């Protein structure tokens, strides 16, 4: 039984499953034996463990059925940690929120963090050790692996290779160090799909030693990004976005101006004030021209007049704001450009921090992988241990990683999922998900934080630390928690200095309370909850600390409640004087460049099995379940291509066929795409979705590969929610933009021609509270975190690519994107659209059964069990924010993983799971309002001004969303609605929406283009 489900769940073809033994008739004795066994099984009932179990007699402290708890933990992305506050309901983690004290969460999340909770419950996870395609066990693996390791130990580690991703975890690094001590000749290789090779090499060239240089965007008045995407997906997205937002608030000191030169659209380019579309290999010329303009160099190759103008304007601005100006450069650019930019930044006294790299591995990612492959090919590797990741998929195909792995006499892959690397290895073994692990991680600035499990491992998995510890093949195997305790008891994570004096006693004390000990119900181990809700709860964190506890206990509890280990950020060092390096002359290239970037919703593709991420729209294109290649209109014309036409990209005898999408604003000669698509082993959800470009990636620089392009037969398309419409004329009122220069002159909003159009309907009664939301469209960078947050909070189902292709989707919140550029310029504008909660809601009078009704707090409610599905409400909704369950999307649907039990565990118990035939929509997270109201009523007080935080609001990295009570001045909502930038979407329809917007602001350089009047609306 378990074998069957396992094979199904891992998505392996059933052909690979062992052939069943031929049937034969039972004899009498067997039949009787089986019958007896069946009867005794039936009497034993189902699911009850063999051991004695004890129900609650005394309820565990702090655990009230029905009351959710919050735990601080850390989630990994590309090896770095982002703090998270996880909501658990009766032992089930159901929602990820941001961790306010963590410098790379700041209380917000990104799409990847939000979706982790679904990955936890993914039924397609690797559930047991596998030998080839046959299920085995940890004992089986140990029996095969440990003797080999013993032999390696005798040989001093010769022939043993450990291949990992980026590791920043102090515990894992400690254990690897121990491994290196035990196996001195062992090779530790490191390959992360989203590498920083050229960044590191650039710093090396400029400073002569490895150094991480990170900009302080909150201090930057002028930013020039050269093919860099600081606002794009990645471990630093939240922190960068928050810093960006700090300088994009009119009225406060210093509204920043952003210049971006890039080949294809990124989020940074989409949010820039001025953008130059440029082949990425011409960025070096721009950098040289900039250096010349900033008095750092002489000759530079000629630029196009447009680029010349752009560079001149940017350089003048940078110079004028020296000390508050910074130049950024992206991972696709060669090291010499990075080195040059370090020189320029030094000259500009740019606000940047330099510190030692958090990732201590000295080698480049690609070099490390190449060395591994070379070793494997040469037969130097006897035992290959791949620890996480999926290099067989993620590396350029030219390296032929899978074939190389097959050469190893023994290979094992520790992984959460079966992927290409697992298939290439002889053994696969399951790792615990971060939400069921003890561990620790460092953020990109070095800040360490603990990984705390929210739930016991759902399957027979081991944590990352446990696996590394087991490789040391010691007799004693500490618990997962003790492994982390030992790290922090014996050393300060940053310096290695002893941290606390009584280190000897505490891990043992900790172990006795560890999750393995004594808890009787299969819920949470005795982890440390975050008491209270939201930011205010943090101050109460100390309450749980026992004064009699040892110093280590106090440290431990503090680190878990805070969500960070205090004072662990890497020390900021003064960077040595930067030296520019010689530029390699660039051969004039007329071939196409395939510019790849991490996928905005799948990142490196490791989470392709996550249906939320697959169905999360890519910014700008709104494509889901795959992403096409962007091509410039001129190139498309030259090759006679239109949207959806297939092209064949060839390089070195290899080729990839993928469809293109004509993207205005794309530079000529560049095809932009994402890595992370086209997974071959992506489980039932993620396999064969999108396109994999590994075959044509250049090993020297996998982010930019010269390819030849030809038309290929047939068409392909990624389904998409919307097209990028250009707003002209009157339509510009849909997404107005004000120039910064015009803003001080605005006394009151000219965007609202008549704030309250006359109405024959009675005025909505104003009760307290009257909920309202104001979204600052300027701050929306289009990252989509709110979409996944809403999905997670409100049990919003996925519908799958076929339904999306039919025009159906279920997201309650969408990010509308328009092109608001004029003439030849293309300027995307984002506008998040949840339900407007209209005071005069057009959906209400048309519902024949009163399923759409107004409540006394100004909410436009949808009563699911009253709804009969006439869909008149959505017909009549000018904003089209309602979503209809054409099928039972939440039940037994393929892309909802057929409603497997484990997936159901993710559901928020406070929100109805909607049935087929029912209309649904954004509720302003009414369950959170209700929760706050109940809490307030119990305490006999009013709901506090910031007590209710909607899911979208809490996720937003730039805090673009404000929510609160119109009647309470302290909430600030009423004031926001009086801002001159304030406007209501389609306000002249008289719907009187409660969700309103602040217009976008553009900080134009007068030297670049005409400031088109006060308001371009």
Partner 1 sequence: MTLAAPQHRWIDASVDTCEQVNALIAEPVIGRASWRPGRWRNWWVALACAAPFALAFFVGLYWELDQGVGVFGNNTTIVWGFPIANYVWWIGIGNAGTLISALLLLTRQPWRASINRFAEAMTLFSVSIAGIFPIIHLGRPMFFYWLAPYPNVMGLWPQWRSALVWDFWAILSYLLFSVTFWYVGLIPDLATLRDRAHHPLVRKLYGAFALGFRGSAWQWSLHQGLYRTMAGLAVPLVCSVHSIVGLDFAASLMPGWQESLFPPYFVVGAMFSGFAMVIILGALIRHALNLKSLVTDRHFDAMAKITVAAACIMGFGYATEWFMSWYSGERAERSYLAYALTGHYWPLYALMMLGNVFLPQILWFKRARASLPALITVAVGVLMGMWFERILIIWNTLGHGYLPTLWRVFWPTVWDYAVMAGSVGFFITLFLLFVRILPSISMFEVRELAMQERDA
Is residue 918 part of the contact set for partner 1 (CB under 8 A)? Answer: yes
Positions in 691-750 near partner 1 (CB under 8 A): 722-723, 725, 727, 729-731, 733-734
Q: What is the DSSP letter of 926?
A: H
Query: Could you tell me the CA-to-CA distances from 924 to 203, 793, 964 in Å, in that order?
Result: 47, 11, 10
Stretch that binds partner 1, among 690-698, 884-892, 992-1000, 1001-1009 (CB under 8 A): 884-892
HEC string of 9-63 equals HCCCCHHHCCCCCCCCCCCHHHHHHHHHHHHHHHHHCCCCCCCCCCCCCCCCCCC
List of residues 6+ apart from 273 with CB closer than 8 A = 257, 258, 259, 1002, 1003, 1004, 1005
List, in order, residues 6 or more apart from 304 with CB less than 8 Å away.
none
For residue 852, how many C-alpha atoms fall within 13 Å in the half-sphere facing its CB?
28
Q: Does 842 engage in binding with partner 1 (CB under 8 A)?
A: yes
Give the pairing type, strands 771-776 and 995-998.
Answer: parallel
Nearer to partner 1, 451 or 833 (CB): 833
How far apart are alpha carbons 242 and 852 in whole angstroms? 37
Smaller CB separation from partner 1, 674 or 884: 884
Report d(CA 155, CA 171) in Å as an integer: 26
Q: Which of 796, 777, 648, 760 is nearest to 712 (CA)?
A: 648
Print burial letters for 215-241: b (CB count within 10 Å at least 16), e (below 16): bebbbbbbbbbbbbbbbbbbbbbbbbb
Nearer to partner 1, 274 or 808 (CB): 808
Q: How far is CA 601 from CA 152, 257, 287, 362, 931, in A?
A: 41, 27, 30, 29, 31
Would you say 460 or 728 has its CB closer to partner 1?
A: 728
Question: Out of 711, 806, 934, 978, which residue is the one contacting partner 1 (CB under 8 A)?
Answer: 806
Among 809, 857, 861, 965, binds partner 1 (CB under 8 A): 809
Omega of the bond leading into 769 within 30 degrees of 0 (cis): yes
Among the listed residues 387, 488, 818, 895, the single contact to partner 1 using CB under 8 A = 818
Q: In the range 949-988, which residues lie near partner 1 by CB under 8 A?
A: 985-986
In the complex with partner 1, which residue's Cβ is closer, 378 or 723?
723
Whole-number Å distance between alpha carbons of 429 and 129? 4
CB of 817 to partner 1, least distance (A): 7
Residue 635 or 809: the one with the smaller Cβ distance to partner 1 is 809
For partner 1, the binding residue among 468, 494, 707, 817 (CB under 8 A) is: 817
The span from the CA of 778 to the CA of 836, in Å, is 18
The CB-of-882 to partner 1 minimum distance in angstroms stands at 8
Interface pick for partner 1 out of 886, 935, 967, 1011 (rule CB under 8 A): 886
CB nearer to partner 1: pick between 13 and 758: 758
Return the range that interacts with partner 1 (CB under 8 A); candidates 399-407, 557-565, 801-809, 1005-1013. 801-809
Distance separating alpha carbons of residues 449 and 84, to the nearest angstrom = 10
Site membership for partner 1, residue 762 (CB under 8 A): no
For residue 899, state whether it binds partner 1 (rule: CB under 8 A): no
- The residue within the footprint of partner 1, chosen from 816, 839, 857, 910 (CB under 8 A), is 816
List the one residue from 152, 651, 661, 883 that touches partner 1 (CB under 8 A): 883
Given candidates 807, 824, 939, 1010, which one binds partner 1 under the rule CB under 8 A?
Answer: 807
Q: How far apart are CA 333 and CA 78, in angstroms?
A: 20
Nearest residue to 979 (alpha-carbon basis) of 751, 737, 739: 751
Residues ≥6 apart with Cβ < 8 Å to 855? 861
Nearer residue to partner 1 within complex by CB, 262 or 803: 803
One of 70, 417, 679, 808 touching partner 1 (CB under 8 A): 808
Q: Is 664 in the site for partner 1 (CB under 8 A)?
A: no
Distances (CA, A) of 192 to 163, 199, 367, 703: 10, 14, 11, 13
Tokens 């009704």: give the residue. Answer: 853
Q: Which is nearer to partner 1, 874 or 968 (CB)?
A: 874
- State which of positions 843-882 bind partner 1 (CB under 8 A): 845-850, 866-872, 874-876, 878-880
Kindly state the smallest distance separating residue 685's Cβ from partner 1, in Å. 20
Interaction of residue 898 with partner 1, rule CB under 8 A: no
Binds partner 1 by CB under 8 A, chosen from 218, 296, 688, 887: 887
Q: In whole angstroms, what is the distance from residue 563 CA to residue 918 CA? A: 40
CB 879 → partner 1: shortest distance, Å? Answer: 6
- 916 sits near partner 1 (criterion: CB under 8 A): yes
Instruction: Please say which residue, 380 or 871, places its beta carbon nearer to partner 1.
Output: 871
CB of 721 to partner 1, least distance (A): 8
| C-beta of 513 vs 871, nearer to partner 1 | 871
972 alpha carbon, distance to own chain's centre: 30
Q: Which of 833, 911, 943, 984 is the binder for partner 1 (CB under 8 A)? A: 833
Answer for the pair 617, 815: CB distance below 8 angstroms, yes or no.
yes
Beta strands in 933-976 (DSSP E): 961-965
CB of 895 to partner 1, least distance (A): 14
Give the C-alpha distances (Å, rounded to integers) separating 786 from 102, 623, 727, 1006: 19, 17, 24, 34
Q: How many chain residues interact with partner 1 (CB under 8 A)? A: 54
Residue 917 touches partner 1, criterion: CB under 8 A: yes
| Cα–Cα dist 606/394, whole Å | 9
> How many helices (H) and strands (E) are present in the chain, helices listed first?
30, 39
Judged by CB under 8 A, the residue of 371, 545, 989, 1011 near partner 1 is 989
Q: Does 642 contact partner 1 by CB under 8 A?
A: no
Closer Cβ to partner 1, 898 or 970, answer by number: 898
Cα 986 vs. chain centroid, distance in angstroms? 32
Q: Tell me the closest approach of the beta carbon of residue 848 to partner 1, in angstroms.
A: 4
Stretch that binds partner 1, among 301-309, 534-542, 646-654, 839-847 (CB under 8 A): 839-847
> In DSSP terms, which residues pair with 704 in a beta bridge?
595
Residue placing its CB nearer to partner 1 in the complex, 398 or 867: 867
**Residues of this chain that bind partner 1 (CB under 8 A):** 722-723, 725, 727, 729-731, 733-734, 803, 806-809, 814, 816-818, 833, 842, 845-850, 866-872, 874-876, 878-880, 883-888, 915-919, 985-986, 989, 991
């Amino acid at each position: 039984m378990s074998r069957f489900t396992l094979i199904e769940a891992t998505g392996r073809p059933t052909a690979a499953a062992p052939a069943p033994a031929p049937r034969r008739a039972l004899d009498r004795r067997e039949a009787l034996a089986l019958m007896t066994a069946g009867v005794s099984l039936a009497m034993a009932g189902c699911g009850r463990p063999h051991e004695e179990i004890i129900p609650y007699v005394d309820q565990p402290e702090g655990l009230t059925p029905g009351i959710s708890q919050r735990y601080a933990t850390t989630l990994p992305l590309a090896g770095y940690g982002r703090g998270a506050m996880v909501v658990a309901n009766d032992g089930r983690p159901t929602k990820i929120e941001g961790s306010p004290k963590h410098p790379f969460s700041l209380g917000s999340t990104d799409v990847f963090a939000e979706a982790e909770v679904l990955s936890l419950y993914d039924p397609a996870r690797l559930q047991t050790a596998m030998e080839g395609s046959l299920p085995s066990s940890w004992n089986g693996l140990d029996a095969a692996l440990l003797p080999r390791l013993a032999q390696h130990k005798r040989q001093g580690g010769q022939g043993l290779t450990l291949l990992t991703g980026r590791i920043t975890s102090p515990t894992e690094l400690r254990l690897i160090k121990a491994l290196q001590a035990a196996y001195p000749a062992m090779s530790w290789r490191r390959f992360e799909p989203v590498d920083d090779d050229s960044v590191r090499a650039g710093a090396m060239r400029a400073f002569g030693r490895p150094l991480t240089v990170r900009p302080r965007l909150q201090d930057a008045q002028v930013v020039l990004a050269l093919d860099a995407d600081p606002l794009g997906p990645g471990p630093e997205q939240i922190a960068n976005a928050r810093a960006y937002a700090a300088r994009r608030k009119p009225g406060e000191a210093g509204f920043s101006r952003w210049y971006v030169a890039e080949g294809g659209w990124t989020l940074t380019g989409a949010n820039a004030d001025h953008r130059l579309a440029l082949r990425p290999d011409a960025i070096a010329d721009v950098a040289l021209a900039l250096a010349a303009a900033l008095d750092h160099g002489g000759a530079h190759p000629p630029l196009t007049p447009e680029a010349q103008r752009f560079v001149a304007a940017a350089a003048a601005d940078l110079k004028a704001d020296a000390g508050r100006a910074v130049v950024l450069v992206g991972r696709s650019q060669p090291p010499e450009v990075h080195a040059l930019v370090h020189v320029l930044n030094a000259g500009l006294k740019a606000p940047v921090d330099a510190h030692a790299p958090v990732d201590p591995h000295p080698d480049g990612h690609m070099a490390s992988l190449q060395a591994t492959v070379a070793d494997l090919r040469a037969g130097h590797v006897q035992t290959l241990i791949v620890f996480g990741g999926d290099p067989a998929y993620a590396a350029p195909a030219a390296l032929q990683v899978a074939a190389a792995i097959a050469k190893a006499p023994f290979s094992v892959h520790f992984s959460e999922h079966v992927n290409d690397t697992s298939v290439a290895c002889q053994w696969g073994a399951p790792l615990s998900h971060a939400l069921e692990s003890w561990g620790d991680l460092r953020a990109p600035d070095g800040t360490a934080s603990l990984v705390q499990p929210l739930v016991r491992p759902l399957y027979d998995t081991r944590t990352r630390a446990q696996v590394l510890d087991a490789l040391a093949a010691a007799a004693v195997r500490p618990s997962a928690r003790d492994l982390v305790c030992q790290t922090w008891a014996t050393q300060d994570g940053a310096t290695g200095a002893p941290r606390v004096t009584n280190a000897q006693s505490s891990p043992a004390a900790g172990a006795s309370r560890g999750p393995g000990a004594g808890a009787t119900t299969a819920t949470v181990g005795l982890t440390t909850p975050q008491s209270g809700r939201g930011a205010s709860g943090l101050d109460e964190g100390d309450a749980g600390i026992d004064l009699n506890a040892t110093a280590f206990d106090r440290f431990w509890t503090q680190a878990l409640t805070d969500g960070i280990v205090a004072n662990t950020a890497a020390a900021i060092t003064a960077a040595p004087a930067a030296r520019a390096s010689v530029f390699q002359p660039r051969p004039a290239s007329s071939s196409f460049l395939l510019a790849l970037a991490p996928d905005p919703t799948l990142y490196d593709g490791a989470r392709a099995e996550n249906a939320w991420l697959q169905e999360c729209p890519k910014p700008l294109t709104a494509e889901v379940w795959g992403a096409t290649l962007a091509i410039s209109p001129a190139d498309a014309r030259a090759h006679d291509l239109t949207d959806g036409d297939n092209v064949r990209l060839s390089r070195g005898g290899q080729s990839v066929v993928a469809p293109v999408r004509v993207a205005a604003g794309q530079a000529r000669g560049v095809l932009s795409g994402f890595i992370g698509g086209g997974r071959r082993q992506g489980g039932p959800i993620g396999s064969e979705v999108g396109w994999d470009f590994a075959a044509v990636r250049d090993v020297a620089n996998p982010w930019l590969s010269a390819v030849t392009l030809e038309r290929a037969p047939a068409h392909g398309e990624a389904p998409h929610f919307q097209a990028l419409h250009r707003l002209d004329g009157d339509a510009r009122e849909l997404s107005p933009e004000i120039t910064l220069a015009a803003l001080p002159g605005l006394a009151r909003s000219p965007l609202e021609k008549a704030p309250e159009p006359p109405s024959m309907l009675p005025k909505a009664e104003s009760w307290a509270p009257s909920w309202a939301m104001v979204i600052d469209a300027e701050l929306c960078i289009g990252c989509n975190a709110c979409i996944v947050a809403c999905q997670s909070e409100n049990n919003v189902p996925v519908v799958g690519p076929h339904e999306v292709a039919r025009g159906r989707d279920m997201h309650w919140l969408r990010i509308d994107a328009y092109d608001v550029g004029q003439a030849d310029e293309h300027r995307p504008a984002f506008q998040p659209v949840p339900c407007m909660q209209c005071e005069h809601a057009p959906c209400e009078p048309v519902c024949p059964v009163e399923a759409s009704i107004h409540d006394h707090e100004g909410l436009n409610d949808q009563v699911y069990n009253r709804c009969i599905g006439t869909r008149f409400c959505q017909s009549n909704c000018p904003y089209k924010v309602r979503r209809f369950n054409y099928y039972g999307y939440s039940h037994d649907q393929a892309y909802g993983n057929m409603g497997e039990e484990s997936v159901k565990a993710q559901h928020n118990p406070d929100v109805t799971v909607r049935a087929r035939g029912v209309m649904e929509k954004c509720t302003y997270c009414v369950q959170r309002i209700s929760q706050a109201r109940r809490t307030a009523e119990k305490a006999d007080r009013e709901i506090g001004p910031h007590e209710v935080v909607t899911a979208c609001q809490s996720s937003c990295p730039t805090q673009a969303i404000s929510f609160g009570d119109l009647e309470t001045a302290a909430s600030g909502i009423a004031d926001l609605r009086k801002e001159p930038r304030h406007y209501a979407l389609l306000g002249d329809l008289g719907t009187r929406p409660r969700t309103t917007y602040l217009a976008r602001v553009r900080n134009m350089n007068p030297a670049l283009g005409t400031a088109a009047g006060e308001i371009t609306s």
